[in-house]
Amino acid sequence: MSASPVVRRRPGWLAGQGSSARLARHSLTLVALAVILVPFADLAILTRDPWGELGRMARGLAWPDWGAVSSPLEALGLTVAVALWGTLGGLTLGFPLALLFARSRLVRAGCAFVRAIHELFWALLFLQVFGLSAATALMALAIPYAGIFAKVYAEILEQIPAAPRDALPHGAGRLSRFVYAELPLAWARLAAYTRYRFECGLRASVLLGFVGLPTLGFQLETAFREGRYHEAGALLWLFYLLIATLPWWGQRRLMPLLAVGGALLLGPWPAVNGGLLWRFVSEDIWPRALLAGDWQGLAEWLARIPELGPAIGNTLLLGLLGSVGALLVALLLWPLACRHFGNPVTRLAGRGVLIFLRSTPELMLAFFFLLLLGPSLLPAWLALALHNGALIAFLVARHADAITPGMPGINASGRLAYELLPRLYPGMLALLYYRAEVILRETAILGMLGVATLGYYIDENFEYLLFDVAFFLLLVTAALNIAVDALSRRLRPRETAIVDDPCQG
Amino acid sequence: MKGESRRPLVALTAENIGHGDQVVLSGLTLALYPGENIALLGPSGAGKSTLLATLRQRLGAQAAWCPQQHGLVPQLAVYHNVYMGRLAEHSALANLWNLVRPLPAPWRQVSELCASLGLADLLRRPVSQLSGGQRQRVAIARALYQQRPLFLGDEPVASVDPYQALRLLALIAARHSGAVVALHQRELALSHFDRVWGLRDGRLVIDAPVHDLDLTDLDALYPDADAAAPRGPW
């Protein structure tokens, strides 16, 4: 006050209590944390000629060899059938759970647990019991989706207006109240979410090929691994075509037809041996020492699990790096697809890049980078950052399109920094925290490609038939996911509504 | 016809009413006698809805209820919204089936009722496609369909034109032996009701038969009328 009565002291760097300064500090802390921890990550490039390999892949994608793909229609049909019936199964299990969700802590905990384990891990688990069969594929989708549906449906039902319910005469039964004054109000959002989940189911169904189930992903993985890039290119195009044409073939009227047709395609069905199944559930997946009540033996068993600490460390590190990378990618990419910047050509290109990156499953992206760069954390990091960054950028761009700037004549950088970013950034950061749990889940499955996260050891132990260790690591993974979900819920900016819900849960 | 000889349907004596810990109306004393048509007046936020909710709770199955903002389900057809007035009188199975295909008896009754409200052609249309005035009439139809002796309405004629308001109030009066209706139109209160309850600042400041009241008495309820703005409210 003594220096000048009129001019207040100039604020320091990013000082102040305003929400933008606070969020900027918040984000920079995250980035700084990632920078400090990067030296601990193994980011080596291990292939000798990555650019040559990239060229060959690009040529494969540019000149796909359609003739080399054997029975593409069957693989496509099975992919759709698994996604559809898996989603339906999840819906059937999840809907009743959604009605109990708010009331039962047990239901909430159970749902959090099944959600926390990725579809591919469920597949690995059921593979041991049901083999390479339709049962494995369907349950791998239906079980985690039941948990997701329960949570999301419960949230949707919670948000419907209460006025119609209050207007009902006293004494109307619970069921009548539900079907007249609750379900119709929530129907549109429930249907939209179910549709979205089906789209996720399609991607997951393709991925099931990576553990050997005969969906599109099986041929894709084989073709890529064996370097037949022209065939892989054809399969990849087939996948994009399937996703891009979803609005046409995924209409409500066609669903019953698809369901019946799909049911005929599903197979083979396993011959379940009840005794073996029981032995698997009651003995194989538990450490012998635990079943015998031998605590010292259990401690020794625990000590013998190799690399548990580093695996957890790698998983968390990759999750953090992936999230921060996704934030940076989203910040860079969203203006490309937004109506406030560039010209129609750049916007079309930008939108194309975002759709391409967001509809490619990260496992596929990671697989691609893995072939390019060799097995380290680097390909996994790139895949997570690009896929999730593009997904966030796409939603943010759509949100930005709805904003009308208050000062129309302002130049592009001013528009970005003063008009749009302050309005969009809180939602963007909230979305990132929402994604953090999904990113961590994906981190674990990237292990199946040889990146030394928990997933790598789960895959390895299943391969060696060490079911007790594999199952224990699965539980660790689930606990980690639940913990990170709780943490990100606490950290995420609260003053804003989420931009839109992405592949949440 | 003097009420003193009869037992009141509801009587409040120096009661504080509100939501949870928050008192909206304090020291409220009033009585509702059978056969009385009462207009409930007062500025927005004076506690009209709170008082009506209390009456609804005390009267239970004797009173039909027409809430503010209608409380309709926009996705359901007019028929189903009206049917909801008697949801409690059918089994859950019948209610479910009625969504698949309207039950014959309720369909007939609702059709007749809706014809008297000018909704005959809209029976199968979702409420989301109706105008504000049409929704208002659906909400009234649902209350009438309950066929209760009393009618409790929270501004049931707020979004219809003045002539429709007259017709609707007459219909409500014809089908019930008594009513408590929250209103904003002071003239209607004096012309169509027996008694006025006037709320201001969380207190009951008017409780009198309409023949003892005129428009200036009612003006005293509204703080904006005190200011006597030269060009009226904008």
Q: What is the DSSP string of A115-174?
A: HHS-HHHHHHHHHHHH-SSHHHHHHHHHHHHHHHHHHHHHHHHHTS-SHHHHHSPTT--H
Least confident of A347-356, A410-419, B39-48: A410-419
Euclidean distance between the first and the last CA atom of chain B, given in angstroms as a whole number: 44
Task: Let me know if residue A262 belongs to a domain.
Answer: yes
Q: Cβ distance A215 to A209 under 8 Å?
A: yes
Task: Let me know if residue A421 belongs to a domain.
Answer: yes
Tally A–B CB contacts below 8 A: 68
A75 and A35 co-located in one domain: no
Chain A residues close to B80, C-beta within 8 Å: 180
Nearest alpha-carbon partner for B70 in B17, B166, B141, B122: B141
A247 and A314 co-located in one domain: no
pLDDT of residue A333: 93
pLDDT of residue A501: 46
pLDDT of residue A431: 87
Record the pTM: 0.83
For residue A155, give both structure tokens. 């949230």
pLDDT at A30 over 60: yes
For residue A85, give both structure tokens. 């019936």
Q: Which residues contact A34 (CB under 8 A, 6 or more apart)?
A: A320, A321, A324, A325
Chain B segment 116-175 residues within 8 A of A by beta carbon are: 139, 142, 146
pLDDT of residue A227: 86
CATH number of the domain within which A95 lies = 1.10.3720.10
Asked if A184 lies within 8 A of B75 by C-beta distance, the reply is: yes
Chain A residues close to B91, C-beta within 8 Å: 173
A224 and A311 co-located in one domain: no
pLDDT of residue A302: 86
pLDDT at A432 over 60: yes
Q: Which residues contact A69 (CB under 8 A, 6 or more apart)?
A: A219, A231, A234, A235, A238
State mean pLDDT over A296-321. 88
**Which residues on neighbouring strands pair with residue B30, listed in sequence order?**
B12
Task: Let me know if residue A188 belongs to a domain.
Answer: yes
pLDDT one-digit tens code per residue, A372-398: 888 888 999 999 999 999 999 988 998
Asked if A170 lies within 8 A of B95 by C-beta distance, the reply is: no
**Residue A434 corresponds to which amino acid?**
Y
Chain A residues close to B136, C-beta within 8 Å: none
Question: Which has the higher per-residue pLDDT, A450 or A324?
Answer: A324
pLDDT of residue A452: 84
CA atoms of B123 and B143, how far apart (whole Å): 16
Where a domain ends, among A272, A290, A319?
Answer: A272
A44 and A173 co-located in one domain: no
Chain B residues close to A180, C-beta within 8 Å: 73, 76, 80, 84, 87, 95, 99
pLDDT of residue B5: 56
For residue B191, give both structure tokens. 């012309």
Query: Which residues span the domain enclosing A69?
Result: 59-272
Burial of B173 (0-12, 13-18, 19+ CB in 10 A): middle
Query: What sign has the CA pseudo-torsion A44, A46, A51, A55?
Result: negative
Asked if A179 lies within 8 A of B96 by C-beta distance, the reply is: yes
Chain B residues close to A185, C-beta within 8 Å: 73-75
Task: Let me know if residue A8 belongs to a domain.
Answer: no
Q: Which of B70, B73, B89, B96 to mutate to test the interface with A (most CBs of A within 10 A)?
A: B73
For chain B, what are the domain ranges?
A: 3-223
| Closest approach of B1 to chain A, Cα-based (Å) | 31
Nearest residue, CB atoms, B73 vs list A171, A172, A184: A184
Asked if A169 lies within 8 A of B65 by C-beta distance, the reply is: yes
For residue A265, give both structure tokens. 């395609």
Tokens 């975002």, located at residue? A354
Task: Let me know if residue A500 belongs to a domain.
Answer: no
| Closest approach of A254 to chain B, Cα-based (Å) | 22
Asked if B67 lies within 8 A of A166 by C-beta distance, the reply is: yes
**Which residues on neighbouring strands pair with residue B198, listed in sequence order?**
B41, B206
pLDDT of residue A498: 47
A248 and A385 co-located in one domain: no
Does residue B103 sit at the A interface (CB-CB below 8 Å)? no
Nearest residue, CB atoms, A180 vs list B61, B69, B95: B95
State mean pLDDT over A329-334. 94
A158 and A27 co-located in one domain: no
pLDDT of residue B227: 61
For residue A35, give both structure tokens. 């920078």
Reported as a pLDDT band with limits 50, 70 and 90, residue A148 is very high
Chain A residues close to B139, C-beta within 8 Å: 167
Task: Let me know if residue A5 belongs to a domain.
Answer: no
Mean pLDDT, chain B, integer: 88
CATH of domain B3-223: 3.40.50.300
Query: What sign has the CA pseudo-torsion A406, A407, A408, A414?
Result: negative
Q: Cβ distance B184 to B158 under 8 Å?
A: yes
Chain A residues close to B76, C-beta within 8 Å: 180, 184
At A85 the three-state DSSP class reads: helix
Reported as a pLDDT band with limits 50, 70 and 90, residue B86 is very high
pLDDT at A178 over 80: yes
Chain A residues close to B146, C-beta within 8 Å: 169
pLDDT of residue A4: 54
Reported as a pLDDT band with limits 50, 70 and 90, residue A276 is confident
Q: Cβ distance A62 to A231 under 8 Å?
A: no
| Closest approach of A183 to chain B, Cα-based (Å) | 10
Task: Let me know if residue A439 belongs to a domain.
Answer: yes
Helix (H) or strand (E) holding A435: helix A421-446
CA atoms of A324 and A55, how far apart (whole Å): 29
CA atoms of B84 and A138, how far apart (whole Å): 40
pLDDT at A472 over 80: yes
Nearest alpha-carbon partner for A191 in A152, A141, A248: A152
Nearest residue, CB atoms, A164 vs list B72, B88, B96: B72
A251 and A149 co-located in one domain: yes
Does residue A191 sit at the B interface (CB-CB below 8 Å)? no
Above pLDDT 90, what percent of chain A? 34
Q: Cβ distance A367 to A449 under 8 Å?
A: yes
| Closest approach of B232 to chain A, Cα-based (Å) | 34
A80 and A221 co-located in one domain: yes
**DSSP assignments along A322-379, one per residue:** HHHHHHHHHHHHGGGGSTTSS-HHHHHHHHHHHHHHHHS-HHHHHHHHHHHH-SSHHH
A333 and A247 co-located in one domain: no
Task: Let me know if residue A53 belongs to a domain.
Answer: no
Asked if B142 lies within 8 A of A166 by C-beta distance, the reply is: no
When divided into structural domains, chain A yields a total of: 2
Least confident of A247-256, B121-130, B138-147: A247-256
Burial of A225 (0-12, 13-18, 19+ CB in 10 A): exposed
Phi/psi of residue B135, nearest 5 degrees:
-60, -40
State mean pLDDT over A79-102. 95
Whether the ipTM is more than 0.95: the answer is: no
A83 and A111 co-located in one domain: yes
Nearest residue, CB atoms, B95 vs list A169, A176, A188: A176
Closest chain A residue by Cα to residue B81: A180
Measured in whole angstroms, how far is the alpha carbon of residue B15 from the centre of its chain? 22
Nearest residue, CB atoms, A180 vs list B65, B67, B73: B73
Does residue B86 sit at the A interface (CB-CB below 8 Å)? yes
Q: DSSP code of A45?
A: -
A137 and A239 co-located in one domain: yes
Q: Which residues contact A75 (CB under 8 A, 6 or more apart)?
A: A214, A215, A216, A218, A219
A130 and A168 co-located in one domain: yes
Q: DSSP code of A232?
A: H
pLDDT of residue A422: 84
Where a domain ends, among A272, A294, A319?
Answer: A272
Least confident of A47-61, A253-267, B48-62: A47-61
Asked if B71 lies within 8 A of A184 by C-beta distance, the reply is: no
pLDDT at A171 over 90: no
pLDDT at A77 over 50: yes
Asked if A172 lies within 8 A of B87 by C-beta distance, the reply is: yes
Measured in whole angstroms, how far is the alpha carbon of residue B50 from the centre of its chain? 13
Strand extents, DSSP E, B85-218: 150-154, 178-182, 195-200, 203-209
Nearest residue, CB atoms, A167 vs list B60, B65, B88: B65
Reported as a pLDDT band with limits 50, 70 and 90, residue B22 is confident
Does residue B58 sit at the A interface (CB-CB below 8 Å)? no
pLDDT of residue B90: 92
pLDDT of residue A330: 94
Tokens 């329960």, located at residue? A150
pLDDT of residue A170: 86
pLDDT at B133 over 50: yes
Q: Which of A180, A187, A190 to mutate to test the interface with B (most CBs of B within 10 A)?
A: A180
Asked if B92 lies within 8 A of A187 by C-beta distance, the reply is: no
For residue A348, give both structure tokens. 């079309």
Does residue A189 sit at the B interface (CB-CB below 8 Å)? no
pLDDT one-digit tens code per residue, A151-162: 999 989 988 898
State mean pLDDT over B20-26. 84
pLDDT at A269 over 70: yes
At B224 the three-state DSSP class reads: helix
pLDDT at A505 over 50: no
pLDDT at A16 over 90: no
Nearest alpha-carbon partner for B18 in B201, B202, B205: B202
Q: Cβ distance A322 to A439 under 8 Å?
A: yes
State mean pLDDT over B145-163. 92
pLDDT one-digit tens code per residue, B189-209: 999 999 999 998 888 989 999
Chain A residues close to B71, C-beta within 8 Å: 163-164, 166-167
Asked if B76 lies within 8 A of A175 by C-beta distance, the reply is: no
